[in-house]
């Protein structure tokens, strides 16, 4: 077989701009791995790219989207010992789906530097949920928020895939976790992931927070974005850290931002945006073992087939998954 099915984007727009085509299977060089993709997760950055919102310098078209994938090694010419044929691998970031063709296909070719072998056997839909979601949750918690055992953590956007993963990882680390959702009925799914206190999010929760956590939180993970960030800063304790990682609120910037007025004294504001180095540092095999033992809860919201990619993107855009969306090939 010399061709594969791939999802190709030629221009920005609605989900219908994603076209399934037959394309040549890529040929790996000595520093690449050819992966037979079995599953890939959907990500908000791919939604923004599909909508035409990514800067032209960061995405060239036409393009096979997808910043992550899991599958089996088809070939790795210069690294066959490290990546033997048939080994289960995960990959993410490093220009995937932006500067070169990514995971929305039956095969993808990526640098060896952004591949991890996963030895623990799990269902493909679970493996497909892991790479970018766990890399982002892990990096946000421990690189940007510097989370420690005994800390308190507020997750703004608790039903997002990253929010649910972050709650589970933090709970296993001995952290007290609170989270928000606009929907009161979402408390059950968040508590199943390790959340002990749920705040119904009206857009302004700082006053609610101070009733239960008078001094505020050690760490605040902001996944909604600029629409709630100013309020999230008021939920931090003095010396605490607020990290903006996501923007499910679909707003990129502030219309008016005065740091002296918005950032409380001694509260730190940072961001997280992981790349290949951060992905390589994410202990995916350790997480896979924890999932296998039932110690780490991963929420797969919905699964689709490759030919259902338009419906999958529509589901992501409408925030209907309540967990990670995974596409099986």
Rounded CA-CA distance 204/200 in Å is: 10
The answer to whether residue 1 scores a pLDDT higher than 80 is no
Quote the strand ranges of the chain, DSSP E: 3-9, 18-24, 32-41, 63-64, 68-75, 88-92, 107-111, 115-117, 152-156, 176-181, 197-200, 217-222, 236-244, 268-271, 300-305, 324-328
CB proximity list for 37: less than 8 A, separation 6 or greater: 69, 70, 71, 103, 105, 106, 107, 108, 329
pLDDT digits (tens, 9 = 90+) for 250-297: 666 778 888 898 999 999 999 999 999 999 999 999 999 999 999 999
| pLDDT level of residue 154 (50, 70, 90 thresholds) | very high
Report CA torsion sign: 246, 247, 252, 256.
negative
Pairing of strands 32-41, 107-111: antiparallel
Q: What is the pLDDT of residues 212-236, one digit of tens each?
A: 999 999 999 999 999 999 999 999 9
Q: How confident is the model at residue 171 (pLDDT cuts 50, 70, 90)?
A: very high
Question: For residue range 23-56, what is the model confidence (pLDDT) as tens digits?
Answer: 999 999 999 999 999 999 999 999 999 999 888 8
**Tokens standing for 274?**
């992981």
Cβ neighbours for 230, distance < 8 A, ≥ 6 positions apart: 254, 262
């Amino acid at each position: 077989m010399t061709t594969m099915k791939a999802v190709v984007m030629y221009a920005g727009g609605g989900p219908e701009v994603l076209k399934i085509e037959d394309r040549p299977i890529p040929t790996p060089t000595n520093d690449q791995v050819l992966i037979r993709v079995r599953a890939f997760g959907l990500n908000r950055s791919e939604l923004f790219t599909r909508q035409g919102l990514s800067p032209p310098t960061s995405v060239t078209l036409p393009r096979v989207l997808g910043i992550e994938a899991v599958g089996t090694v088809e070939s790795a010419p210069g690294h066959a010992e490290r990546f033997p044929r048939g080994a289960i691998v995960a990959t993410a970031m490093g220009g995937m789906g932006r500067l070169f063709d990514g995971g929305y296909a039956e095969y993808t070719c990526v640098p060896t530097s952004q591949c991890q072998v996963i030895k623990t056997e799990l269902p493909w839909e679970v493996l497909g949920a892991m790479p970018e979601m766990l890399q982002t949750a892990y990096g946000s918690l421990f690189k940007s928020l510097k989370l420690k055992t005994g800390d308190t953590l507020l997750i703004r956007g608790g039903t997002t895939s990253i929010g649910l993963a972050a709650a589970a990882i933090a709970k296993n680390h001995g952290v007290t976790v609170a989270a928000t959702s606009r929907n009161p009925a979402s408390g059950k799914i968040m508590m199943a992931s390790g959340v002990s206190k749920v705040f119904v999010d009206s857009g302004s929760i700082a006053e609610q927070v101070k009733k239960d956590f008078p001094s505020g939180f050690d760490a605040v993970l902001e996944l909604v974005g600029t629409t709630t960030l100013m309020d999230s800063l008021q939920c931090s304790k003095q010396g605490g850290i607020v990290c903006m990682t996501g923007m499910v609120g679909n707003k990129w910037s502030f219309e008016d931002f005065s740091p002296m007025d918005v950032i409380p004294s001694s509260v730190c504001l940072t961001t997280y945006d992981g790349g290949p180095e951060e992905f390589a540092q994410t202990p995916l095999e350790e997480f896979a073992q924890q999932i296998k033992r039932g110690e780490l809860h991963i929420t797969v919201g919905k699964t689709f087939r490759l030919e259902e990619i338009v419906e999958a993107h529509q589901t992501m855009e409408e925030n209907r998954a309540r967990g990670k969306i995974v596409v099986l090939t």
